[in-house]
Structure 1
Amino acid sequence: MDIDGKVAIVTGAGAGIGAALGRALVGGGARVVLADLSPTVQDVAEELGDSAVAVTGDVADPGVIDELIGVADDRFGDVHLYFANAGVIGASGLEVTEQQWDHSFEVNTRAHIRAAQRLVPRWVEAGSGYFVSTASAAGLLTQIGSATYTVTKHAAVAYAEWLSITFGDQGVGVSCLCPMGVETAILYAGRDSGDRLGMAATNAVLSAGGVLTPDTVAQEVLEAVAAQQFLILPHAQVLEMMRQKTSDHERWLRGMRRYQASLLAD
């Protein structure tokens, strides 16, 4: 999809990949509604001028999603693209509370489902639309430390695949972003928590591949949208890791256990 002249919604846009996507979209001629829990999203919108407007709120809340779409419709016109980018890392270990599980599912998975339920029927009727899901390499591989992040990001990948299969021949494009280390606050959340598994998780990502800037990732996302490419892997080595996992799952699991042990021993 050519983004020039299009209207997009970007969640998690107060910083990091979301803010970078907002800048890249406006730079390509799009108009954007930016959303985040943090009031910093207002600063990002002000930076982008008349082509952007910000909404502060929980993008897993159905009412907030409706508000985002309504603001886009009123300010810019029909929504052509939705970037479900907001995410949370979640706690480490086995003793995660029900509330923590619910929060991770709400933000990392259900927020995507709710947005698609509202927009995909409109896009099918119009014959055009695009949904971009920010998942993670953890959604293809795993995440040392956080079960909630691993499980909900796997679910996000699965839902994006289902959307593409179900509606891809009806004009709805779908891409799924699965990076490893990106220079954002979420990258260091585990280390800053002081929890051994959380610190190991951060160290695992830092040691597995280079840390990219959000602007670099945003540019790759828009290139994938232009090419109608489903899987976006800014870290090329993730593809080889996926091949190793699927070619010999038992060996991969043993290797991951050894890797985790080495990180915890540091």
Structure 2
Amino acid sequence: MPDTAVVTGAARGIGRAIASRLAREGWQLVVADLDAAELAAVAEETGALAVPGDTSTDAGVRHLVDTAYDHLGHVDVFFANAGIGTLQGLEADDAEWARALDTNVLAHVRAARHLVPRWLDAGGGRLVVTASAAGLLTMLGDAPYSVSKHAAVAFSEWLSATYRHRGIVVQAICPQGVQTRMLEESGPLRELLTRDATVSADDVADAAWQALSSDAFYVLPHPEVADYAAQRAAHPDAWLAGMNRLQQKLDHQTQTSTTTPTQEPA
């Protein structure tokens, strides 16, 4: 079993849970996040080296990878976990699209660019991308998130197809609703994301830990996602019609919430 890892987006949520699980298993860690204060707390809890910074940029990723190799000597697993949502559709401007693509897709591309050559020299390595069920299905109400998570899965597939025979293992974690701040702040999408049972960040970390013992590409904390993806592939028009019915329900809920008068307390 490998014993060194880098975890991005580690200040809270899934990233924090993954770092905590690996620390309990005795791994040596480097953790990264934009939130330096929260990251410092995670580092203290896990015995990790904290590297605050923006891992959506090439300079940020390069600094993180170089620092991790200097500190750990080698990196067995890179958990590319950092991600953002926008809760916007066509109203999202180019800056929002760029931010989502940089964080949810190009961060993985940049990490692979700096890691894969080292892993090829070392005989192997593992990249674990936190994608989303949105990367296999879609995310109503958030076009940049949905598109970027599809791209994250597609890039992960390309990496696996290109390098698996050379010892590079790539895995994509694709959960649905997870009890994190992102879910709490999802507004009208919250009901949609909780149609199926939600799981905790610790549950996702457990699934990620179990996945390290295999080379399976998809890691599905919500097993039903596999059935949804199969239905989507087999009956795309029926699936899209069903998603549109959900969108109509969201539209109705939004209209109701904006037209229902509120009453101030006396």
Q: Which category of TM-score, normalised to the shorter sequence, fits these structures? A: over 0.9
| Structure 2 Cα separation of the partners of residues 181 and 190 of structure 1 | 10
Which segments of 5 or more consecutive residues in structure 1 lack a partner in the other structure?
192-198
Match of residue 71, structure 2, among 50, 71, 75: 75
Determine helix, strand or coil for the equivalent of 1:145: coil
Partner of 2:238: 251
* 2:215 corresponds to: 228
Partners of 2:247 and 2:123 in 1: how far apart?
47
Residues 89 and 144, structure 2, Cα contact 8 Å, conserved in 1: no
Task: Tell me the residue number matched to 1:195.
Answer: none
User: Could you tell me which residue of structure 1 aligns to residue 224 of structure 2?
Assistant: 237
The match for 2:46 is 48
CA drift at 1:264: 2.6
Q: Which runs of 4 or more aligned residues in structure 1 lie more than 4 Å from their structure 2 counterparts after TM superposition?
A: none
Q: Deviations over 1:102-150 (max 9, x none)?
A: 0000000000000000101111121110000110000000001000000
- Secondary structure (helix, strand or coil) at the match of 2:206 reads helix
The alignment status of 1:26 with 2:14, answered yes or no, reads: no
Q: Is 2:175–2:221's contact at 8 Å kept on the other side of the alignment?
A: yes
Alignment correspondent of 1:12? 9
Secondary structure, in 3 states, of the residue corresponding to 1:100?
Answer: helix
> 3-state DSSP class of the match of 1:90?
coil
Q: SS of the residue aligned with 1:174? A: strand
State the alpha-carbon separation in 2 of the partners of residues 93 and 173 from structure 1.
34
How many pairs does the alignment contain?
252
Query: What is the alpha-carbon distance in structure 2 between the residues aligned to residue 76 and residue 92 of structure 1?
Result: 40
In 2, the alpha carbon distance for the partners of 1:154 and 1:247 equals 18
Match of 1:183 in 2: 179
SS of aligned partner of 1:226: coil
Alignment correspondent of 1:205? 193
Separation in structure 2 between the aligned mates of residue 251 and residue 58 of structure 1, nearest angstrom: 41
Q: Structure 1 residues 97-106 or 123-132, which shifts more?
A: 123-132
Distance 1:249 1:202 in 2: 24
**Pairwise CA RMSD:** 1.1
Equivalents in 2 of 1:162, 1:35: separation in Å?
Answer: 25
Question: Which amino acid is the alignment partner of residue 30 of structure 1?
Answer: W
Unaligned runs of 5+ in 2: 254-266
The corresponding residue for 1:196 is none
Work out the CA distance in 1 between the residues paired with 2:123 and 2:94. 40
Residue 168 of structure 1 corresponds to which residue in structure 2?
164
Is 1:7–1:72's contact at 8 Å kept on the other side of the alignment?
no
Highest CA radius of gyration, 1 or 2?
Answer: 2
Matched residues in 2 for 1:70 and 1:164: separation?
A: 23
Q: CA deviation at 1:190?
A: 2.3
Paired position in structure 1 for 2:260: none
Aligned counterparts of 1:229 and 1:77: Cα–Cα separation in 2: 27
- Give the % identical residues: 41
- The whole-number CA distance in structure 1 between the counterparts of 2:240 and 2:98 is 27
Q: Which one of the candidate residues 105, 112, 132 is aligned to 1:109?
A: 105
Please show how residues 211-222 of structure 1 align to structure 2 within 5 Å. Answer: 211-222=198-209
Q: What is the alpha-carbon distance in structure 2 between the residues aligned to residue 13 and residue 190 of structure 1?
A: 20
- How much does 1:29 deviate? 2.1
**Contact 1:12/1:19 (8 A) holds in 2:** yes
SS across alignment from 1:143? coil
Q: Secondary structure at the match of 1:227?
A: coil
Give CA-to-partner distance per residue, 1:178-223, whole Å, 9 cap, x none.
00011111112221xxxxxxx1x2221111x111111111111111
Which amino acid counterpart does residue 64 of structure 1 have in structure 2?
Answer: G
Name the stretch that deviates more: 100-109 or 40-49. Answer: 40-49
Distance 1:189 1:124 in 2: 40
**Equivalent residue letter for 1:44:** V
Contact persistence 1:89–1:189 (CA under 8 A): no
Superposition TM-score, scaled by structure 1 size: 0.92
More moved, 17-26 vs 61-70? 61-70
Give the structure 2 partner of residue 57 of structure 1.
53
Query: In the alignment, does 2:139 pair up with 1:143?
Result: yes
Distance 1:149 1:171 in 2: 30
Q: Distance in 1 between matches of 2:176 and 2:87?
A: 18
